[in-house]
Amino acid sequence: MDLIAGIINLDHEQDLLEELTYFRCGAAVPFAGRYRMIDFTISNMTNSRIESVAVFARRKYRSLMDHMEQGKSWDLDRQRGGLFILPPDWNDPTDLSRGDLQHFHNNIDFIRRTLADYIVVSGSQNICSIDYRDVLESHKESGADVTVVYKKVEELQPEHNLAHKLTIDDSGQVMAIHNDQQSKNVYMDMYIIERDYLNYLVENCIAHGCSHLFLDGIKGRLPDIHINAYEHEGSHALINSVESYYRNSRKLLNESEHDELFNEESPVFTKVKNEAPSHYAFSSNINNTLVANGCTLEGHVEDSILFRGVKVGKGAVIKNSIIMQRCEIEENAVLENVILDKDCSISSGRTLIGAPEKPFVVAKRKTM
């Protein structure tokens, strides 16, 4: 079996989730009731038998560190291999690298020392369930230098504007990488590459003063190198804005969307917490809602997502909202189209109503 190693490169992911990314990077944003965004990427790697994963983090990575620990939750707490979060702590005065190449350069030992012949490089904003062993197979069959993963979306959404798009010929070879707003071939910010070729690209890019491995080292070489495209056929969500976060979260209330992401064959792992089962009072009325453990529910909740330990008081009404860990919604409060970050308190009788296309976001630990 071919060994694959993983790199999760967060360097060029911008923190565009407003209040949700004031104090944490996008990869650490809570998602789907009990996960963080990065859980999906790490779990895909684990489920593809990747045993060695490096995370390139630049800023606001503290909560990511707390969450990932040594990787035990993903069975990646190993003596050989394992999960490494690599914050920018560089002290080599002779280092010439720039941009995300600083990460590749300063962590080149990860690439050089791994026993794996192939490396998957991925971001954290494309939520999906994918087996990288299938991508590798396509890569090997194609004989390409690099294989990129893309999704043919049915309908373009605003979040796709920021993504790269691919022009692909009949044989699956990438002819162009661009930002054409009409193209539906959305590049999912994941590629697989031979270890030695990646090592070469890193050195070559640094020697030429480049600052972005994918743009300069891969896209920039396009006529000269063979890029193969792998189509991801399952469900897919690109989350790079509050609006896309909100819409894609609520998509999980749809059973088939939910089941495609959470299936027994490739479970999504996360750091587990000790929480009692959720308690539904006599007075509760909960409909079409995802609920994590540790909640105490006495009010009315519909079309919403409740994270761990949320309390909803009697007479409170919550609709179309996402309520994160340990929020407390007191009696008779009304929330509609709202995202509450962790540890918020909404006083008895308050009403907060956002717009369906622009939810009202409350930063963590706010009392209103």
Question: Which residues contact another protein by CB under 8 A?
Answer: 32-34, 75, 77-80, 253, 255, 258, 262, 264-265, 267-270, 272-282, 284-294, 296, 302, 305-306
3-state class of 195 per DSSP? helix
The distance of closest approach from Cβ of residue 13 to a copy of itself in the complex, given in angstroms and rounded to an integer, is: 15
The distance of closest approach from Cβ of residue 160 to a copy of itself in the complex, given in angstroms and rounded to an integer, is: 28
Q: Does residue 86 interact with a copy of itself by CB under 8 A?
A: yes
Q: Max CA-CA distance within the chain? A: 68
Q: Does residue 171 interact with a copy of itself by CB under 8 A?
A: no
Q: Which does 305 bind (CB under 5 to 8 A by kind): another protein, a copy of itself, none?
A: another protein
Residue type, 276: A
What is each CA distance from 226 to 11, 75, 146, 171, 217, in whole angstroms?
Answer: 25, 35, 7, 12, 13
**48/278 with CB nearer another protein:** 278
Residue 13: CB atoms within 10 A of its CB come to 20
3-state class of 315 per DSSP? coil
Q: Does residue 91 interact with a copy of itself by CB under 8 A?
A: yes
330/198 Cα distance (integer angstroms): 54
190 neighbors 119 (Cβ within 8 angstroms): no
Number of residues that bind a copy of itself (CB under 8 A): 15
Q: Does residue 262 interact with a copy of itself by CB under 8 A?
A: no
Q: Which does 98 bind (CB under 5 to 8 A by kind): a copy of itself, another protein, none?
A: none
149 — phi, psi (to 5°)? -105, 135
The distance of closest approach from Cβ of residue 82 to another protein in the complex, given in angstroms and rounded to an integer, is: 9
CA dihedral 110, 112, 116, 117 (to 10 degrees): 140
**C-alpha triplet 84, 87, 93: angle, nearest 5°:** 120
Q: Does residue 14 interact with a copy of itself by CB under 8 A?
A: no
160/155 Cα distance (integer angstroms): 10
Q: Does residue 69 interact with a copy of itself by CB under 8 A?
A: yes
Among positions 171, 181, 182, 274, the unique one binding a copy of itself when judged by CB under 8 A: 274
The distance of closest approach from Cβ of residue 59 to a copy of itself in the complex, given in angstroms and rounded to an integer, is: 7
Q: Does residue 204 interact with a copy of itself by CB under 8 A?
A: no
How far the first Cα of the chain sits from its last, in Å, is 56
**58/140 with CB nearer a copy of itself:** 58
What is each CA distance from 47 to 41, 168, 257, in whole angstroms?
Answer: 10, 28, 19
**302/331 with CB nearer another protein:** 302
Q: Does residue 62 interact with a copy of itself by CB under 8 A?
A: yes
The distance of closest approach from Cβ of residue 277 to a copy of itself in the complex, given in angstroms and rounded to an integer, is: 19
Among positions 2, 18, 59, 233, the unique one binding a copy of itself when judged by CB under 8 A: 59
Residues 6+ positions from 173 with CB-CB distance below 8 Å = 142, 144, 226, 227, 228, 229
Residue type, 244: S
The distance of closest approach from Cβ of residue 91 to a copy of itself in the complex, given in angstroms and rounded to an integer, is: 5
Q: Which does 249 bind (CB under 5 to 8 A by kind): another protein, a copy of itself, none?
A: none
Chain contacts with a copy of itself (rule: CB under 8 A): 22-23, 59-62, 69-70, 79, 86-87, 89, 91-92, 274
